[in-house]
């Protein structure tokens, strides 16, 4: 079996390493700049991710919408209402919560418990509890139950469509902000990497010319450039991941302590996803720079 | 009719039929045929209606005043410039139909030496010969031995481990020649290879060219030096400014 492919890969790898080693200072500077840019982006991404999770938690409870049933509603009317609710698009489950069950839940709720104790009888209405795929479904639900004789006309549901829309919009806006920040950070990173590569090509113009003249294929001439941006991307991402760890361990708990209403929570389960995402995204953004940079003819 | 590659009658450079590995007796090996070729840069035509025929094993000197187009002719021959008109066939390859992705493969059939030695200063003489050989000739057998043989051929076997800044100008140029011939090209192109050298170094460099020529290689050398032309060249062509035609 011919060993030339292995030998060739070895030669190319050694050449790529030598290419990089000779200009380690510019490589290091680029990696640090990229690391700083990615650190800022990753930190914002972490805070947005945690905020989004916190908001999603609130939305999850908000998504458990209740349609309140009047005490006068008959069993047939309740069954008809349940059938109507089940047929609303976006409603995944409908369950009935009786007055007794509602009172029992209220007794466990620290905010509602005093009200339950102070009232005579059971002030908590029976309801249909709806699980919705999206808070935006609330508007359809409210439209469906409007005028239904078994639904409390004063307070038909646990929250309004406007509230649901606000929550949904806030969630969407946070996602957009995170995506825009990522794109900007990767764009800046790509520009920095491109500057490095152009500097490398300028510094090694004669070397590249020699390789071109002796017939080294252009894709092969590009290999050291690809290796270089890959290593910069990995090093820069590594710095960003370290920053992320520091922010998660020290900054996020400090924010939670000083601003408890934010409830950012434990960031540990976000680290893996954000670290892999940062490395993958920076590699994906930087490698095309190595393929696009112009080589001497 | 000029046949570019393969058997007579084959289409010039016909797609996948364009092979890197070729038999030594292949049609056009070591030959150059230019017929009414025009070439230039941008809007400027430097060489016009140039016709030239070089047989395998020839040693050709190209002379002419500065700006006449000697370097342009060499750039045409190694595929850096494409002919605007006419037919140019180098080592069996029709340059007019040479696709960009085939240029590097074409250049592996040639050797090029320039006035400035263009060696990598951080590599030893042996590494300077070896690296392009290893990167360009992927499946080449025993590249180390070939690099050593090339250095021996130019008389620098004992300087293999020396870096270029520690070599004289003539020695550096001979390393460049060793690099150009290590892959055993059939044609060696040289642009003022002794322009910066003293008489002793020039003689050493020319002996290296002669060694290649004696092995059956074709040498095309642009030079101002009349003594070189008279001593080494088997043929001389002169390019007149603006409108070139080989004499």
- B29 vs B6, residue with greater confidence: B29
- CA dihedral for A7, A12, A13, A19, sign (positive or negative): positive
Report chain B residues whose CB lies below 8 A from the CB of A210. Answer: 118, 120, 132
Distance from CA of A14 to the nearest CA of B (A): 10
pLDDT of residue B53: 92
Q: Does B18 touch chain A (CB under 8 A)?
A: no
pLDDT of residue A184: 86
pLDDT cut 70: percent of chain A above it: 89
Instruction: Give me the residue from A12, A22, A216 closest to B132, CB to CB.
Output: A216
- CA nearest to A205 within chain B: B118
Provide residues of A within 8 Å CB-CB of chain B.
2, 4, 8, 11-12, 15, 22, 206-207, 209-218, 220, 297
- Please tell me whether residue A66 adopts helix, strand or coil conformation: strand
Cα angle B64, B66, B70 (rounded to 5 degrees) comes to 55
CB contact under 8 Å between A206 and B118, yes or no, is yes
CB contact under 8 Å between A212 and B104, yes or no, is yes
Q: Inform me whether the pLDDT recorded for B24 exceeds 80.
A: no
Report chain A residues whose CB lies below 8 A from the CB of B102. Answer: none
**Number of other residues whose CB lies within 10 A of the CB of residue A187:** 12
CB pairs under 8 A between A and B: 57
SS (HEC) of A89-142? CCEEEEEEECHHHHHHHHHHCCCCHHHHHHCCCCCCCEEEEEEECCHHHHHHHH
Question: How sure is the predictor about B140, in pLDDT bands with cuts at 50, 70 and 90?
Answer: confident
Of the spans A278-292, B18-32, B70-84, which averages the highest pLDDT? Answer: B70-84
pLDDT digits (tens, 9 = 90+) for A119-137: 677 788 888 888 877 767 8
User: Are the C-beta atoms of residues A4 and B135 closer than 8 Å to each other?
Assistant: no
pLDDT of residue B38: 92
pLDDT digits (tens, 9 = 90+) for A223-232: 888 888 899 8
- CA nearest to B136 within chain A: A216
Average pLDDT over residues B63-77: 89
> What's the token pair of residue B189?
């192109």
Average pLDDT over residues A177-186: 82
Question: How sure is the predictor about B13, in pLDDT bands with cuts at 50, 70 and 90?
Answer: very low
Distance from CA of A33 to the nearest CA of B (A): 29
Report chain B residues whose CB lies below 8 A from the CB of A2. Answer: 139
pLDDT digits (tens, 9 = 90+) for A246-269: 988 888 888 877 776 666 777 887
Nearest to A196 by CA among A29, A70, A44: A29
What is d(CA B14, CA B6) in angstroms, rounded to the nearest whole number?
9
**Number of other residues whose CB lies within 10 A of the CB of residue B247:** 10
Report chain A residues whose CB lies below 8 A from the CB of B132. Answer: 210-211, 214, 216
What number of H helices and E strands is found in chain B? 7, 9
Q: Are strands B32-41 and B85-90 parallel, antiparallel or unpaired?
A: antiparallel
Instruction: Give me the residue from B80, B132, B138 closest to A214, CB to CB.
Output: B132
Average pLDDT over residues A197-206: 80
Q: Rounded to the nearest 10 degrees, what angle do helices A161-203 and A24-63 cross at?
A: 170
pLDDT of residue B58: 93
Distance from CA of A280 to the nearest CA of B (A): 29
Average pLDDT, chain B: 81
CB contact under 8 Å between A215 and B106, yes or no, is yes
- pTM for the full predicted model: 0.65
Q: Which DSSP category does A247 fall into?
A: I
Instruction: Give me the residue from A8, A214, A218 closest to B138, CB to CB.
Output: A8
Of A190-199, A272-281, B122-131, which range is least confident? A190-199
**Number of other residues whose CB lies within 10 A of the CB of residue A183:** 13
Tell me: ipTM over 0.95: no
Of B34-43, B138-147, B224-233, which range is least confident? B138-147
pLDDT digits (tens, 9 = 90+) for A26-46: 888 888 988 998 898 888 888
Q: Which residues of A209-221 are buried (b: 16+ CB within 10 A; e: fewer)?
A: ebbbbbbbbeebb
Report chain B residues whose CB lies below 8 A from the CB of A214. Answer: 107-108, 112, 132-133, 135-136, 179-180, 183
CB contact under 8 Å between A214 and B179, yes or no, is yes
CB contact under 8 Å between A2 and B139, yes or no, is yes
**Number of other residues whose CB lies within 10 A of the CB of residue A185:** 24
CB contact under 8 Å between B136 and A211, yes or no, is yes
Distance from CA of B111 to the nearest CA of A (A): 7
Question: How sure is the predictor about B246, in pLDDT bands with cuts at 50, 70 and 90?
Answer: low
User: How many angstroms from the chain centroid is the CA of residue B2?
Assistant: 21
Report chain B residues whose CB lies below 8 A from the CB of A217. Answer: 104-105, 136
Q: Which residue has the tokens 């605007």?
A: B84
What is d(CA B90, CA B233) in angstroms, rounded to the nearest whole number?
20
- CA nearest to B110 within chain A: A214
pLDDT digits (tens, 9 = 90+) for B203-216: 888 888 888 899 88
Nearest to B134 by CA among A204, A16, A205, A290: A16
Nearest to A45 by CA among A274, A251, A285: A274
Residue B71 CA: distances (Å) to CA of A141, B64, B114:
82, 10, 10
Nearest to A141 by CA among A201, A93, A211, A191: A93
């Amino acid at each position: 079996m011919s060993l030339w492919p292995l030998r060739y890969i070895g030669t190319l790898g050694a050449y790529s390493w030598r290419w990089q080693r000779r200009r380690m200072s510019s490589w290091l500077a680029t990696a640090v700049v990229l690391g700083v840019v990615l650190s800022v982006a990753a930190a914002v991404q972490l805070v947005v991710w945690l905020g989004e999770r916190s908001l999603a938690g609130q939305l999850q409870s908000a998504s458990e919408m209740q349609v309140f049933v009047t005490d006068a509603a008959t069993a047939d009317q309740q069954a008809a209402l349940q059938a109507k609710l089940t047929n609303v698009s976006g409603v995944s489950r409908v369950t009935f919560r009786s007055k007794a069950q509602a009172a029992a839940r209220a007794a466990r709720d620290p905010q509602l418990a005093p009200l339950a104790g102070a009232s005579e009888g059971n002030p908590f209405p029976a309801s249909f509890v709806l699980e919705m795929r999206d808070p935006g479904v609330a508007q359809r639900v409210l439209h469906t139950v409007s005028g239904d004789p078994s639904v409390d006309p004063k307070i038909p549901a646990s929250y309004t469509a406007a509230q649901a829309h606000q929550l949904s919009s806030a969630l969407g806006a946070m996602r957009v902000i995170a995506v825009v920040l990522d794109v900007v950070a990767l764009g800046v990173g790509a520009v920095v990497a491109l500057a490095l590569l152009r500097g490398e090509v300028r510094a090694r113009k004669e070397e590249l010319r020699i390789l071109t003249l002796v017939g080294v294929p252009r894709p092969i001439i590009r290999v050291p450039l690809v290796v270089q941006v890959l290593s910069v991307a990995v090093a820069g991402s590594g710095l960003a991941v370290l920053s992320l760890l520091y922010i998660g361990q020290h900054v996020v708990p400090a924010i939670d302590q000083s601003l408890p209403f934010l409830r950012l929570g434990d960031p540990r389960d976000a680290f893996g996803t954000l670290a892999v995402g940062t490395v993958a995204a920076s590699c994906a953004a930087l490698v095309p720079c190595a393929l696009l940079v112009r080589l001497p003819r | 009719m000029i046949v570019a590659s393969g058997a007579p009658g084959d289409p010039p450079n016909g797609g996948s039929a364009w092979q890197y590995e070729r038999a030594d007796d292949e049609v056009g090996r070591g030959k150059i045929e230019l017929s009414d070729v025009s070439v230039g840069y941008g809007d400027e035509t430097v060489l016009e209606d140039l016709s030239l025929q070089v047989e395998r094993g020839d040693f050709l000197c190209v002379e002419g005043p500065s700006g006449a187009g000697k370097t342009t002719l060499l750039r045409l021959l190694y595929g850096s410039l494409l002919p605007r008109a006419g037919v140019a066939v180098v080592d069996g390859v029709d340059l007019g139909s040479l696709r960009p992705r085939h240029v590097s493969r074409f250049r592996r059939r040639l050797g090029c030496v320039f006035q400035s030695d263009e060696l990598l200063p951080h590599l030893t003489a042996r590494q300077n010969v070896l690296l392009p050989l290893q990167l360009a000739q992927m499946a080449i057998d025993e590249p180390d031995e070939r690099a050593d043989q090339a250095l021996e051929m130019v008389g620098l076997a004992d300087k293999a481990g020396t870096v270029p800044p520690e070599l004289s100008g003539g020695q550096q140029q001979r390393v460049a020649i060793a690099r150009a011939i290590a892959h055993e090209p059939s044609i060696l192109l040289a642009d003022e290879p002794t322009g910066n050298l003293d008489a002793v170094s020039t003689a050493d460099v020319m002996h290296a060219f002669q060694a290649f020529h004696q092995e059956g290689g074709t040498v095309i050398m642009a030079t101002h030096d009349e003594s070189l032309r008279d001593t080494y060249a088997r043929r001389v062509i002169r390019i007149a400014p603006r409108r070139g035609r080989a004499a």
